[in-house]
Chain A
Amino acid sequence: GQNIDQPTEMTATEGAIVQINCTYQTSGFNGLFWYQQHAGEAPTFLSYNVLDGLEEKGRFSSFLSRSKGYSYLLLKELQMKDSASYLCAVTSTGNTDKLIFGTGTRLQVFP
């Protein structure tokens, strides 16, 4: 089976750094995605990791350790607009590349 765990809620202060963790168990692994979702809106793509290591993209970075079944999303220089849910999702080996999502981490950024 497949299982993805991430914290339900986190809070942080504007300008700070926050790390959102995700652990996963999957029968086959073909990549890990992070999506951002503002309330009432569609998820938007943030990052994709298929190899171990850190991928940096502006204020956002994502890390993957396949041996540990672990990823994190690092958000730097937090802004109020970063208040959103952050969804960790994995794809497994096979033909469909369907995304298996965690429940999401709701991040609230305070001034």
Chain B
Amino acid sequence: DTGVSQNPRHKITKRGQNVTFRCDPISEHNRLYWYRQTLGQGPEFLTYFQNEAQLEKSRLLSDRFSAERPKGSFSTLEIQRTEQGDSAMYLCASSSGPGTSVPTYEQYFGPGTRLTVT
């Protein structure tokens, strides 16, 4: 396994359009996280899945944001009616928590999807 992958790497969209990002975690990892990072800041937590269950959502995640992990493997993050303030790098991370063969809790990040809303 080569690590966490994310698609697309870059997305430019017009204000008001919907966008969807995909994250494929490391295969044996049961925990998946979405973060958002803007220039000069550290990543901010958005949401967390353990297997297919979404167990926590940040207050940063408005109603326009929705995330899924339907089979406990890949995850999607959708932003509806995008706004210019949504422009950021969206990072996905995964880790192996309880229930896996080797729980480590270190989070491994994907390369991110850079969203630009014009």
Q: Tell me which of B44, B56, B107 contacts A45 (CB under 8 A).
A: B107
Q: Is the CB of A98 within 8 A of B43?
A: no
Q: Is B75 an interface residue (CB 8 A)?
A: no
For A, the interface residue count at a CB cutoff of 8 angstroms equals 23
Q: Tell me which of B50, B95, B106, B112 contacts A42 (CB under 8 A).
A: B112
Q: Is the CB of B111 within 8 A of A42?
A: yes
Find the A residue at minimum CB distance from B109.
Answer: A42
Given contacts A48-B105, A97-B97, A98-B48, contact A43 B31 (CB under 8 A): no
Find the A residue at minimum CB distance from B33.
Answer: A98
Q: Is B41 an interface residue (CB 8 A)?
A: yes
Contacts of B107 in A (CB 8 A): 33, 45, 97, 99
Contacts of B102 in A (CB 8 A): none
Q: Is A89 an interface residue (CB 8 A)?
A: yes
Q: Is the CB of B105 within 8 A of A97?
A: yes
Q: Is the CB of A95 within 8 A of B55?
A: yes
Residue-wise interface mask of A (88-111) relative to B, using a CB-CB cutoff of 8 A (1 in contact, 0 not): 010100011111111110000000
Q: Is B110 an interface residue (CB 8 A)?
A: yes
Q: Is the CB of A101 within 8 A of B48?
A: no
Q: Is A44 an interface residue (CB 8 A)?
A: yes
Q: Is the CB of A43 within 8 A of B105?
A: no
Bound complex: CA A98 to CA B95 (Å): 10
Within 38-96 of A, Cβ neighbours of B (below 8 Å) are at 41-45, 48, 87, 89, 91, 95-96
- A54 CB to closest chain B CB (Å) equals 19
Bound complex: CA A35 to CA B109 (Å): 10
Q: Is A7 an interface residue (CB 8 A)?
A: no
Q: Is the CB of B109 within 8 A of A43?
A: yes
- A95 CB to closest chain B CB (Å) equals 6
Residue-wise interface mask of B (79-98) relative to A, using a CB-CB cutoff of 8 A (1 in contact, 0 not): 00000000000010101010
Given A31-B105, A87-B43, A98-B33, 11 other A-B residues pairs in contact with their CB atoms under 8 A = A91-B105, A96-B48, A96-B56, A97-B97, A98-B48, A99-B33, A99-B45, A99-B107, A101-B42, A101-B43, A104-B42
- Please, could you name 5 A-B residue pairs with CB atoms under 8 Å apart, sorted by A? A42-B111, A95-B55, A98-B33, A98-B45, A98-B48
